Amino acid sequence: MWTFILRRLLQSAIVIIGVTLITFTALQMSGDPTYLYVSERATAEEIQRTREALGFDRPLPEQYLTFLGNLLQGDFGNSLSYKRPAIEAVMDALPATLELTIFAMMLAIIVAIPLGVVASLNRGSATDGSVMTMAMLGQSIPSFWLGIMMIMFFGLQLRILPISGHVPFIMPLIQGDFVRAFTNLPQTLYYLIMPGFAVAFYSISRNARLVRSSMLEVLGQDFVRTARSKGISERAVVIHHALRNAWLPVVTMIGLEFGFLIGGVVVVEIVFSWPGLGRLVFNAINQRDIPVVQAAVVVLAMVFIALNLIVDLIYARIDPRVKL
């Protein structure tokens, strides 16, 4: 088991180095970064002094090693827009994105698993057809379009859900203000309903299809037929035998779910004016705030890699063959 963990940690370290190399290369491909740090009226001498002060006149390998060393200290430089350390701007926006992503992921799991199980148990019926039609529709609708339609119908037409706004929950938890965090929780969930569903709808549809196909495969195996022949109730067969063995591909997908949802969050945050990392990165790209973009990419990559590592360990616990 320890060999498996060490191997996964080594792979994660290699991926993180690859991410830092890509973010560093992207900065160089955008042109001479010196011009981002000087005014439009700067003289050639001022530009050269700034270039030397920031180390952009050094060879690229040396610049990358410096960038890597600063990264290990959490130093991504100062934001060009916010005039403060880029990592601070990213970490301030990260809790709102985590709230939206975790809510959407929980929604995708809680809704998709029952839908997939019901569809598999009623294969070929109208129920199965309805679930699969919904799944096909969910995988065809862009999250930003769904968000706009929900704003128009639930927010502007019916006026039952807020079209924008955010009540923090994770940030007070981090600050140790537990009373405020749990006081905010009902309002936090209220403001999460529309953006969370817009992000989760695609994942609900995909996961429902995955659970259905996995359950159908397991339900046709000999041990399920043996359990039924012993007179075990259908509920026990489904929950304790079929669903338990159908978990492996589902666990893998749940682990990857965070990365997929983060991709959807970026656009949905803009639609709902959600003060998260997606909107921060979008604004930073428009303003060419490279330090913020680099910090956000590296932080998200590390979160995603950490979650994948956790899922790998859970998978190895569920199926010991994986460690081999």
pLDDT in tens, 211-240: 888 888 887 777 777 877 877 777 777 777
CA atoms 55, 60, 63, 67: torsion sign: positive
Same domain, 47 and 178: no
Place of tokens 């390998």: 61
Which tens digit of pLDDT belongs to each residue from 37-91? 777 777 888 878 877 777 777 887 888 888 888 888 888 888 877 888 889 999 9
Average pLDDT of the segment spanning 240-247? 72
What's the rounded Cα separation, in Å, for the pair 168 and 99?
Answer: 8
Residue 149 banded pLDDT, cuts 50, 70, 90 = very high
Looking at this protein, which amino acid is placed at residue 217? E
Report the number of distinct structural domains present in the chain: 2
Report if residue 323 sits inside a domain: no
Q: Could you report how far apart the first and last alpha carbons of the chain are, in Å? A: 9
Q: What are phi and psi of 83, to 5 degrees?
A: 55, 40
Select from 38, 54, 70 the last residue of a domain: 54
Domain span at residue 245 reads: 88-318
Kindly report the CATH number assigned to the domain that includes residue 180.
1.10.3720.10
Beta bridge partners of 230: none
Catalogue the E-assigned strands of the chain: none
What's the rounded Cα separation, in Å, for the pair 239 and 207?
Answer: 18
Same domain, 254 and 121: yes
Same domain, 36 and 171: no
Same domain, 222 and 303: yes
Same domain, 99 and 220: yes
Report if residue 63 sits inside a domain: no
Select from 37, 54, 71 the last residue of a domain: 54
Same domain, 214 and 312: yes
What's residue 5's pLDDT? Answer: 74
Same domain, 96 and 19: no
Report if residue 59 sits inside a domain: no
Residue 140: count of CB within 10 angstroms of its CB? 9
SS3 (DSSP) at 43: coil
What's the rounded Cα separation, in Å, for the pair 92 and 269?
Answer: 15
Report if residue 35 sits inside a domain: yes
- Is 83 in contact with 70 (CB distance < 8 Å)? no
Which tens digit of pLDDT belongs to each residue from 153-212? 999 999 999 998 899 999 999 888 899 999 999 999 999 999 999 999 988 998 888 888
How many whole angstroms from its chain centre is CA 263?
Answer: 6
What's the rounded Cα separation, in Å, for the pair 83 and 14?
Answer: 32
Is the pLDDT reported for residue 323 higher than 70? no
Same domain, 155 and 112: yes
Same domain, 33 and 111: no
Which tens digit of pLDDT belongs to each residue from 251-310? 777 767 777 777 678 789 889 989 988 889 888 888 778 888 888 888 888 888 887 777
DSSP string, 260-278: HHHHHHHHHHHHTT--SHH
Same domain, 133 and 272: yes
Same domain, 308 and 237: yes
